[in-house]
Amino acid sequence: MIRRKGASEIARLISKGEIKPSEIMESFLRRFEETEEKVRAYITQNFEKAVEEAKKLDGKKPEGKLFGVPVAVKDNIVTKGIRTTCASKILENFIPPYDATVITRLKAEGALIVGKTNMDEFAMGSSTEYSAFFPTRNPWDLERVPGGSSGGSAVTVAVGSAPVSLGSDTGGSIRQPASFCGVIGIKPTYGRVSRYGLVAFASSLDQIGVFGRRTEDVALLLEVISGHDPKDSTSRDIPVPRFTEEIKRDLKGLKVGLPREFFEFDLQKEVEETFREFISKLEGLGCEVVEVSLPHIKYAIPAYYIIAPSEASSNLARYDGVRYGYRSEKFSDIVDMFSRTRDEGFGPEVKRRIMLGTFALSAGYYDAYYLKAMKVRRLIYEDFMKAFERADVIAGPTTPTLPFRIGEKVQNPVEMYLSDVLTVPVNLAGLPAVSIPVGWVGNLPVGGQLIGKPWDEATILRVSYVWEQVFPHYEKTPEV
């Protein structure tokens, strides 16, 4: 079955002439038609155009690492000529005149964009329920959330309407939905992948990353989109490893650090038990497990919810109804037009975070809140660096719970924020981390998070690759 094949295998089959790009695309189009009404993963689908583009590739000499491979893209990454909404009414009809750097790099390697995926509005949320259009559903249980904010991107890979997808991760927005949907999701080191063309939420935290069902696919896509970009001042000029080759080494002697503080959070019993079984199996694969400490991560959530909303308050000031996007039809003067446009165009969670951030940055409060949060951020980074003196990789559950039911946490923002308690510290420290499926509780997936040293995505992907040789999680697919 074509749709169960990974991006790497698809590229190999096309290069050998065993299958045409159009046959690949039509297979994924059929899967989209079978599943989309149930899961609602896409805001804007681009399959018809992708099929036309694929037909033009038929018979051509394959050029590029992703020649003819379908890729789904989170709807906060701009795509020339394809609507980009950030799941917000304020950008409902925005069609960008340019491509993000990651899209340019994908196209240069022959990839075809099949659509823009649903998300929490402006990437603010952990369940994809805060989309202005509709919630996305978890393919393993349609009454549960897929995680967020990159829920749509995770679901496309889980159901097989795309073999790989792009997401963005500000506080866990790739890893948490990867965990909830039973796929692999990686957030690279801050600065590894260009943010040019990523609609900003919190500029010092946002990073584009990748979803896939197999480690080789994630490594391949990351290899393509990584690298210095002069258009992004936060992009670092550091060589990009051949991730697809680096992953194929064994784990003998690798030290895996378990932070005792991860297990002091309120973890669901089944999640902790499944994760500890995974760690036990890693030991059997040659890893050495050591205890480490991250004493300041208990302050990660409060620090994050000062830093991220503060940066969001600044970044979202541009949506004023003047230059592009939604504009209120009824207003008395320019100030009233700004106010009404933003009130009508933004959803409740975005407004909540703008107000939190504006307050934290207001005169007299900057030192008390934002500056203090930045000092905590530094302490968290130093905790990780100290832990890495003892360990090559740090591991923990990705999320404290199994996927929760739709509507269960919408009325309690703090409870929703706490679903990211294990992922947020990584963004504050700017480190790479991947969530991989480590088991199931009933029919619901459980994810384990592997955190790497700065610029060392290769090692965490190597653990993921070796793990899937003994636990081929990609063979289990949801029956949607």
Q: Which active-site residues does the annotation give?
A: 74, 149, 173
Residue 332 token pair: 């008395």
Output the CA–CA distances (angstroms, integers) from residue 127 to 27, 177, 180, 273, 357, in the order listed: 29, 8, 10, 24, 21
| Cα angle value 71/72/76 (rounded, 5°) | 130
Residues 73, 137: contact at Cβ < 8 Å? no
What amino acid occupies position 85? Answer: T
To which H or E segment does residue 117 belong? strand 112-117
Q: Give the span between the Cα atoms of 248 and 217, in whole angstroms.
A: 13
Q: Give the span between the Cα atoms of 216 and 428, in whole angstroms.
A: 27
Letter string b/e over residues 386-410, b meaning 16 or more CB atoms within 10 A of that residue's CB: ebbeebbbbbbbbbbbbbbebebbb
Torsion of CA 260, 265, 270, 275, to 10 degrees: -30
Give me the residues paired with residue 452 across strands.
393
169 closest CA partner among 465, 478, 367, 434: 434
Phi, psi (deg, nearest 5) at residue 72: -95, 150
342 closest CA partner among 361, 359, 328: 328
Q: What is the DSSP string of 164-225?
A: EEEEEESSSTTHHHHHHHTSEEEEPPTTSB--TTBPPSSTTT-EEEEEESSHHHHHHHHHHH
434: helix, strand or coil: strand
Residue 20 token pair: 């045409």
| Cα angle value 387/451/10 (rounded, 5°) | 160
**Secondary structure of 263-289 in the HEC alphabet?**
HHCCCCHHHHHHHHHHHHHHHHCCCEE
Residue matched to tokens 């550091």: 238
